[in-house]
Structure 1
Amino acid sequence: MSALLEKERITARISSAVADVLNSAAELTGTTLNGFVVQAALEKAQKIVDREKRITISRDDAAMLLNLLDNPPQPNEAMQRGFKRFMEEKYGGRKD
C-alpha cells in the first residue's frame, strides 16, 4: 500500500539572467530546473534551521557551565523565596 504524498507548489518570477544561470547549473548537475531549485533551497533552508537551533559557546563558557552543573551554588534568599512562591502557585502549598 503506497502512502499519498501531498505536494505543494511554489512559483517565482526571476530575470532571464538568473534563469540562465539556474538552467546552466541544473544541466551541469544532471537534473531538472525544478529539481535543482528545490534541492538548493532545501539545502539552504536546512543550514539556516540547523544554525538557529544550535547554541555555540566558547570552551571557557562550556567549562563554567559544566562546573556549575557539577557544583551548583547554594540557593540564596531570593531563590528560596522564589521557589517557595512557585511551589505555592503550582501546587497550592502542598508538601507532596
Structure 2
Amino acid sequence: METVTAKQDRIGARVPHEVYETLCRAAELTGATVNQFLVQSALKEAQAVIEREEVIRLSPRDWNWLLDLMENPPQPNAKLQAAMKHYQDAKQNNADNTFNWGP
C-alpha cells in the first residue's frame, strides 16, 4: 500500500531572546509547540493580508449602486466610443500582422 507524504518546506528565523521567550509563553498557553504557534499565527496573518488586498468590501448602499450600474449601464460617451474603436482597430491590425516564424 502506498503512502503519500505532503511536501513540506522549512522556515527559519533568528529573533531576540525576549521575543523568543514571549513566543514560548504564548505557545505554552495555547497548548502548542513554538513551531506550531508560529505557523498558525503567521498563516492567520497571511490570510488576513491576502483577504485585505484581494477582497473588495462594499456597503449596502454602494452594492446597490454597483448592481444598478451593471443592470442599467449608461450610454458610452465619445471618449469610450473612441477607445473601443481604437481597441478594435488594434485587435484587427494584430490579427493581420501575425508573427512569421520562417526566414
TM-score computed with the length of structure 1 as normaliser: 0.80
Q: How many residues align?
A: 93
Instruction: Give the Cα–Cα distance (whole angstroms) in 1 for the partners of residues 82 and 21 of structure 2.
Output: 66
1:28-75 CA distance string (max 9 Å, x none): 222211111111111111111111111123333222211111111111
Equivalent position of 1:57 in the other structure: 58
Equivalent position of 1:36 in the other structure: 37
Instruction: Give the Cα–Cα distance (whole angstroms) in 2 for the partners of residues 22 and 80 of structure 1.
Output: 59
Instruction: Give the Cα–Cα distance (whole angstroms) in 2 for the partners of residues 25 and 79 of structure 1.
Output: 57
Give ranges in structure 2 of 5+ residues lacking alignment.
96-103
User: Residue 7 of structure 1: CA displacement?
Assistant: 2.3
Equivalent position of 2:98 in the other structure: none
The answer to whether the aligner puts 1:2 opposite 2:3 as a matched pair is: yes
Equivalent position of 2:101 in the other structure: none
Question: What secondary structure is seen at the aligned counterpart in 2 of 1:55?
Answer: coil
Question: What secondary structure is seen at the aligned counterpart in 1 of 2:35?
Answer: helix
Equivalent position of 1:25 in the other structure: 26
Question: What secondary structure is seen at the aligned counterpart in 2 of 1:3?
Answer: coil
Instruction: Give the Cα–Cα distance (whole angstroms) in 2 for the partners of residues 52 and 25 of structure 1.
Output: 28
User: Residue 17 of structure 1: CA displacement?
Assistant: 1.9
User: Residue 16 of structure 1: CA displacement?
Assistant: 2.0
Instruction: Give the Cα–Cα distance (whole angstroms) in 2 for the partners of residues 50 and 3 of structure 1.
Output: 31
Give ranges in structure 1 of 5+ residues lacking alignment.
none
The root-mean-square deviation of aligned C-alpha atoms, in Å, is: 1.9
User: Residue 15 of structure 1: CA displacement?
Assistant: 2.0
The answer to whether the aligner puts 1:73 opposite 2:103 as a matched pair is: no
